[in-house]
Structure formats: C-alpha cells, structure tokens
Amino acid sequence: MTDDPRIGPPEPHVHAHAGGMHDPGGLAPPPLGDRALPAYAAGHDLTAAHLEHHAAVVLQGISAGYDDRLALENVSAAIDAGTLIAVFGPNGGGKSTLLKVIGGLLAPWRGTVTVFGARPGVHARRVAYVPQAEQVDWDFPVTCWDVVAMGRYPSLGPFRGLRAVDREAVGSALDVVGMADHARTQIGRLSGGQRRRVFLARALAAEPDLYLLDEPVTGVDPTTQEDLMEILEAEAARGRTVVATTHDLAAAAEHFRQVLAINRSVIAHGPSTLVLDEEVLARTYGGHLLVLGGNTVLLDDAHHHDDAPRGERHFHVDDPGAHR
C-alpha cells in the first residue's frame, strides 16, 4: 500500500459533455452525442440507503496516477455486492489503476473510495487482489502449496503457523482449480494457465468477499478460461463480488453480468451487452477500433500497462500486498 499522501498534480481543464468528460487536448475519446450513457446502469438507485445496504464498492470523483501522470480522472461508480463485473478499455486507460485504488494499494489524488462502507484497507481481510501475471517473480523458490497458503496469512496474525482449518482451506482451493496434483511443484515450473489457476486458488483460500483480479484469463487456453470463469461465476452466485479487468470482450459478454467501460474516466456502466455496442466501443477505444467489412475489429496490446514505469509495482509471490 502506498504511504505517499501527497496530492497529485493539477488535473487538466475539462468541459462537461453529454457523453462524459471532454479533454480539449484530444486525449479523451469523442462523446457519444445523443446516446450518452450515464456512469451507472439505467435505473440504478444511488440513494444513501441503497449504497449502504447493497454496494460493496463506491467510488466518487476519483482521480489518481503515478508521479505526474494522470491515469484516472473523475471516476464515479458503485458496484453492488454479489456482482460479477468486467472492467474493459484500452491499454493505459486506467483499468489496473482502478483495482489498485479499490484495494488500497494506491492512494487517489482526489475523491473518495469506500469498500464495504469503509476506506480501503480497513476490511483488508475481506479483499483478495491478484495482479497481472507479468508482475510476479516466478523464479521465487516456493511451491504451489506455499503460494496458496499465503492467502491464509492475513487471518493468522504475525508469527502464527497454519492451523488445521487453514490447511483444509488450502487443499480445497487447490482442488477447486484442478491443481491438487501440483501442490509440491515450484511455481516457476508451471505453464501460464497453471500459474493463473494457482493464483486464483490463493485468492479462494483467503475466503474473501471481494475479488480484484487483473487480467485473470489473459493468455490462457480455452479450457483454462472456461474453468476459471466457472469458478468466478460460482463465487458470485454465493454472494461474493468479483471485479476483473479483461481484454477479451467476447468473454465479457458471455460470462459477466455487468461491465464497466473505462478510458481514464467512466464511459459506460451497465449490462454486459454494452461490449457489443459499437458506439460504446468507439468512445472507449477511439483510434484502436476499426470497422472492416461491417465488422468491428479491436486492435490492442495486451502487454501494455497503464502504470508508469517508475510507479509500477512488481510482486514477489510472498508479497503480502499481493494477496490481501
């Protein structure tokens, strides 16, 4: 978690537009015009009573970034408990930053965030954060069992060993993701899909109420993607809240109930069918979107992050901040 309480640099001057915020410098995507979408799904009740009893996460006017670079600008959204929501948008659009702000890993420059009715970090034991695969040191000498067991550490307290209930939770999580037979395998010897399974198992072992997953199914084979999404769908059905960034719009449409389109600011928030709306996609991706023969084609680089190099944090698999 960042300890830097400083207020970031001033935000660029913006003008209100029907489709959101318009940046005169040309950085923001064009407005949706008459089909402007609100930051919340149509009919979403944003009364204080609703937020208190239904919202797991509330962001109000959030601006955040790294050093002098703005990554999120005036972001407001409410995510109900038990929601399975995909966050999509262009690389550098602020998706990873959003998860870090919610998880308390990055302090916003402006605005307020509440997670289960309190500031980020107060209910850290109820939150599991899984970073992107390339932010992990896979050479660290630990086994799959060790990695998954780290999900239990926040509930143990300092200098306490695993209890029988913890070992049972670790074994159960490995079994759920289909990695029980690899429990004693060093994490770096696994394939990309197997590594994703193990890190999801670590999150499952924590028994959280909120999952923050950065690209959980990027670069995995179709079978692994289906297996992991089935697990996440089951967690949401149990009342857990799942927030996952993704580049896979087809998977977002098929598996997620809600989507949040973001390009530095919120473009649209609503049902997963929004990923099929060409105007929403055009505003979200701008020049990264092409129309060829009547079909919309998305051009994006799945390995580019919205973090500035100096602000990017890489996780060792034993980093407590990586499995809170």
Beta strands in the chain (DSSP E): 15-17, 20-22, 55-66, 69-80, 84-88, 110-115, 127-130, 136-137, 210-213, 241-245, 258-263, 265-271, 289-292, 295-298, 315-316
Report the C-alpha gap between 50 and 7 in whole angstroms: 30
Residue 130 bridge partners (DSSP): 213
Which one, of 103, 134, 132, lies nearest residue 119 by Cα?
Answer: 103
Q: Which helix (H) or strand (E) holds 170?
A: helix 164-176
Q: Give residues with Cβ within 8 angstroms of 271, minimum separation 6.
A: 41, 257, 258, 259
On the 0-12 / 13-18 / 19+ scale of CB atoms within 10 A, 209 is: buried
Contact 204, 234 (CB under 8 A): no
* Angle CA 108–72–314, to nearest 5: 70
Which one, of 265, 233, 251, lies nearest residue 298 by Cα? 251
pLDDT at 28: 41
Joined together, the tokens standing for residue 5 give: 């309480």
Burial of 88 (0-12, 13-18, 19+ CB in 10 A): buried
Helical (H) or strand (E) element with 205? helix 192-205
The confidence score (pLDDT) of residue 137 equals 74
pLDDT tens readout for residues 175-223? 999 999 999 999 989 998 999 999 999 999 999 999 999 999 888 899 9
As a whole number of Å, the CA-based R_g of the chain is 19
Identity of residue 186: Q
C-beta separation of 212 from 127 below 8 A = yes
Q: What is the DSSP letter of 264?
A: S
Task: List the pLDDT tens digit at each of the 324 positions of the chain.
Answer: 433 333 343 333 222 222 333 333 333 444 444 444 444 433 344 555 556 567 999 999 999 999 989 999 999 999 999 999 999 999 999 999 999 999 999 999 999 999 999 999 999 999 999 988 766 777 788 999 999 999 998 878 776 788 999 999 999 999 999 999 999 999 989 998 999 999 999 999 999 999 999 999 888 899 999 999 999 999 999 999 999 999 889 889 999 999 999 999 999 999 999 998 988 998 998 866 555 555 656 655 444 455 544 444 434 444 444 444
For residue 307, the number of C-alpha atoms closer than 13 Å in the C-beta half-sphere is 20
Spatial separation of the C-alpha atoms in residues 201 and 199, rounded to whole Å:
5
Closest to 9 in 3D by CA, of 96, 92, 70, 61: 70
Cα gap 298→27, rounded to integer Å: 19
**Would you state the CATH architecture of domain 15-322?**
3-Layer(aba) Sandwich (3.40)
Instruction: Output DSSP code: residue 91.
Output: T
Length of the chain: 324
Distance CA 11, CA 16 (A): 14
**Helix and strand numbers, DSSP H then E, in the chain:** 9, 15
> What pLDDT score was predicted for residue 216?
93
Strand partners, 259: 86, 270
Q: Are strands 15-17 and 20-22 parallel, antiparallel or unpaired?
A: antiparallel
